[in-house]
Structure 1
Amino acid sequence: MATPTIELLTKPGCHLCEAARQTTGEVAARFGLSFTETNIENDPQLFERHQNEIPVLLIDGEVKDFWQVNARRLTKLLEKKLAA
Protein backbone atom coordinates (compact mmCIF):
# COMPACT_ATOMS: atom_id res chain seq x y z
CA MET A 1 0.00 0.00 0.00
CA ALA A 2 1.61 3.23 -1.19
CA THR A 3 0.98 6.42 0.75
CA PRO A 4 -0.85 8.91 -1.46
CA THR A 5 0.71 12.31 -2.01
CA ILE A 6 -1.76 15.09 -1.22
CA GLU A 7 -1.01 18.60 -2.44
CA LEU A 8 -3.11 21.75 -2.21
CA LEU A 9 -2.39 24.55 -4.67
CA THR A 10 -3.20 27.94 -3.18
CA LYS A 11 -2.37 31.63 -3.41
CA PRO A 12 -2.31 34.41 -0.81
CA GLY A 13 -5.56 36.24 -0.14
CA CYS A 14 -7.71 33.36 -1.39
CA HIS A 15 -10.76 32.95 0.87
CA LEU A 16 -11.61 29.54 -0.62
CA CYS A 17 -8.08 28.34 0.13
CA GLU A 18 -8.60 28.72 3.87
CA ALA A 19 -11.64 26.41 3.82
CA ALA A 20 -9.87 23.95 1.52
CA ARG A 21 -6.83 23.93 3.81
CA GLN A 22 -9.01 23.10 6.81
CA THR A 23 -11.01 20.37 5.04
CA THR A 24 -7.91 18.78 3.51
CA GLY A 25 -6.10 18.81 6.84
CA GLU A 26 -9.03 17.29 8.75
CA VAL A 27 -9.62 14.48 6.25
CA ALA A 28 -5.93 13.71 5.80
CA ALA A 29 -5.46 13.55 9.58
CA ARG A 30 -8.20 10.90 9.85
CA PHE A 31 -6.00 8.66 7.72
CA GLY A 32 -2.78 9.62 9.52
CA LEU A 33 -1.66 11.56 6.46
CA SER A 34 -0.41 15.07 5.88
CA PHE A 35 -0.48 17.32 2.85
CA THR A 36 1.76 19.88 1.24
CA GLU A 37 0.70 23.33 0.19
CA THR A 38 2.13 25.09 -2.84
CA ASN A 39 1.71 28.80 -3.56
CA ILE A 40 1.09 29.03 -7.32
CA GLU A 41 2.47 32.57 -7.36
CA ASN A 42 5.93 31.04 -6.87
CA ASP A 43 5.65 28.84 -9.98
CA PRO A 44 4.85 30.53 -13.32
CA GLN A 45 3.63 27.27 -14.92
CA LEU A 46 1.26 26.46 -12.05
CA PHE A 47 0.06 30.06 -11.99
CA GLU A 48 -0.68 30.05 -15.73
CA ARG A 49 -2.52 26.73 -15.53
CA HIS A 50 -4.49 27.17 -12.30
CA GLN A 51 -4.87 30.90 -11.64
CA ASN A 52 -8.65 30.74 -12.09
CA GLU A 53 -9.22 27.41 -10.31
CA ILE A 54 -7.63 28.03 -6.92
CA PRO A 55 -7.58 26.15 -4.63
CA VAL A 56 -6.72 22.91 -6.44
CA LEU A 57 -6.46 19.54 -4.72
CA LEU A 58 -4.07 17.01 -6.24
CA ILE A 59 -3.67 13.41 -5.19
CA ASP A 60 -0.59 11.70 -6.62
CA GLY A 61 -0.26 14.60 -9.05
CA GLU A 62 -3.80 14.34 -10.44
CA VAL A 63 -6.35 17.14 -10.05
CA LYS A 64 -9.22 15.81 -7.94
CA ASP A 65 -11.04 19.00 -6.89
CA PHE A 66 -10.85 22.74 -7.38
CA TRP A 67 -12.55 25.83 -5.91
CA GLN A 68 -13.94 23.75 -3.04
CA VAL A 69 -12.60 20.56 -1.49
CA ASN A 70 -15.44 18.17 -0.74
CA ALA A 71 -14.69 16.23 2.47
CA ARG A 72 -16.84 13.23 1.51
CA ARG A 73 -15.25 12.97 -1.93
CA LEU A 74 -11.74 13.31 -0.52
CA THR A 75 -12.47 10.61 2.07
CA LYS A 76 -13.63 8.20 -0.65
CA LEU A 77 -10.61 9.00 -2.84
CA LEU A 78 -8.20 8.33 0.03
CA GLU A 79 -10.00 5.13 1.04
CA LYS A 80 -9.67 3.87 -2.53
CA LYS A 81 -5.99 4.85 -2.77
CA LEU A 82 -5.13 3.24 0.55
CA ALA A 83 -6.96 0.03 -0.33
CA ALA A 84 -5.01 -0.41 -3.57
Structure 2
Amino acid sequence: MQTRVVLYGNPGCHLCDDARAVVERVCADLGVGWQEVTISGDPELMAKYGELIPVTVVDGRQHSKWRVDEQQLRAALQR
Protein backbone atom coordinates (compact mmCIF):
# COMPACT_ATOMS: atom_id res chain seq x y z
CA MET A 1 0.00 0.00 0.00
CA GLN A 2 1.42 3.35 -1.04
CA THR A 3 1.92 5.92 1.73
CA ARG A 4 -0.19 8.98 0.99
CA VAL A 5 -0.35 10.54 4.46
CA VAL A 6 2.56 11.45 6.72
CA LEU A 7 1.93 12.63 10.26
CA TYR A 8 4.82 14.59 11.82
CA GLY A 9 4.79 14.83 15.60
CA ASN A 10 6.40 13.87 18.89
CA PRO A 11 5.67 11.37 21.66
CA GLY A 12 3.79 12.87 24.57
CA CYS A 13 2.07 15.49 22.43
CA HIS A 14 -1.68 15.35 23.12
CA LEU A 15 -2.54 17.08 19.85
CA CYS A 16 -0.41 14.49 18.04
CA ASP A 17 -2.37 11.73 19.79
CA ASP A 18 -5.64 13.31 18.66
CA ALA A 19 -4.35 13.71 15.09
CA ARG A 20 -3.10 10.11 15.01
CA ALA A 21 -6.55 8.81 15.95
CA VAL A 22 -8.17 10.75 13.09
CA VAL A 23 -5.50 9.76 10.55
CA GLU A 24 -5.68 6.08 11.58
CA ARG A 25 -9.46 6.01 11.30
CA VAL A 26 -9.71 7.83 7.96
CA CYS A 27 -6.86 5.91 6.33
CA ALA A 28 -8.26 2.58 7.51
CA ASP A 29 -11.73 3.46 6.20
CA LEU A 30 -10.33 4.49 2.80
CA GLY A 31 -7.61 1.86 2.50
CA VAL A 32 -4.89 4.50 2.34
CA GLY A 33 -1.32 4.01 3.57
CA TRP A 34 0.12 6.37 6.16
CA GLN A 35 3.18 6.74 8.37
CA GLU A 36 4.11 8.66 11.46
CA VAL A 37 7.44 10.49 11.75
CA THR A 38 8.87 11.65 15.08
CA ILE A 39 10.61 14.98 14.61
CA SER A 40 12.42 15.24 17.96
CA GLY A 41 15.59 13.48 16.80
CA ASP A 42 15.93 15.39 13.55
CA PRO A 43 17.18 19.01 13.69
CA GLU A 44 15.93 19.75 10.16
CA LEU A 45 12.40 18.52 10.93
CA MET A 46 12.44 20.31 14.30
CA ALA A 47 13.30 23.57 12.54
CA LYS A 48 10.60 23.03 9.94
CA TYR A 49 7.73 21.68 12.08
CA GLY A 50 8.68 22.24 15.74
CA GLU A 51 6.01 24.80 16.65
CA LEU A 52 3.39 23.46 14.23
CA ILE A 53 3.00 19.80 15.25
CA PRO A 54 1.15 17.78 14.55
CA VAL A 55 1.58 18.41 10.84
CA THR A 56 -0.23 16.23 8.32
CA VAL A 57 1.08 15.93 4.77
CA VAL A 58 -1.10 14.43 2.03
CA ASP A 59 0.47 13.40 -1.26
CA GLY A 60 3.58 15.46 -0.50
CA ARG A 61 1.75 18.70 0.36
CA GLN A 62 1.06 20.07 3.82
CA HIS A 63 -2.58 19.46 4.60
CA SER A 64 -2.96 20.62 8.20
CA LYS A 65 -1.19 21.73 11.35
CA TRP A 66 -2.18 21.51 15.03
CA ARG A 67 -5.48 19.73 14.37
CA VAL A 68 -6.73 17.32 11.70
CA ASP A 69 -10.29 17.82 10.51
CA GLU A 70 -11.68 14.40 9.63
CA GLN A 71 -13.96 15.60 6.83
CA GLN A 72 -11.22 17.69 5.21
CA LEU A 73 -8.81 14.77 5.33
CA ARG A 74 -11.39 12.43 3.79
CA ALA A 75 -12.08 14.95 1.03
CA ALA A 76 -8.37 15.39 0.27
CA LEU A 77 -7.85 11.64 0.03
CA GLN A 78 -10.87 11.08 -2.20
CA ARG A 79 -9.75 13.57 -4.87
- TM-score (norm: length of structure 1): 0.87
Residue 49 of structure 1 deviates from its aligned partner by 1.0
Corresponding position of 2:72 = 73
Q: Distance in 1 between matches of 2:47 and 2:55?
A: 13
| RMSD value, Cα | 1.2
Q: Distance in 2 between matches of 1:19 and 1:34?
A: 18
Give a deviation string over 1:20-74, Cα, whole Å, max 9, x none. 0000010011111231000011221110011100000001221100100000000
Alignment length, in residue pairs?
78
Q: Distance in 1 between matches of 2:4 and 2:43?
A: 22
Corresponding position of 1:41 = 40
The structure carrying a bigger helix percent of its residues is: 1
Provide structure 1 residue ranges, at least 5 long, that are not aligned to the other structure.
none
4+ aligned runs moved over 2 Å, structure 1: none
Structure number with larger C-alpha Rg: 1
Identity level (%): 33
- TM-score (norm: length of structure 2): 0.92
Q: Does 1:57 align with 2:46?
A: no
Determine which structure has greater relative contact order: mean sequence separation of CA pairs < 8 Å that are 6+ residues apart, divided by chain length.
1
Provide structure 2 residue ranges, at least 5 long, that are not aligned to the other structure.
none
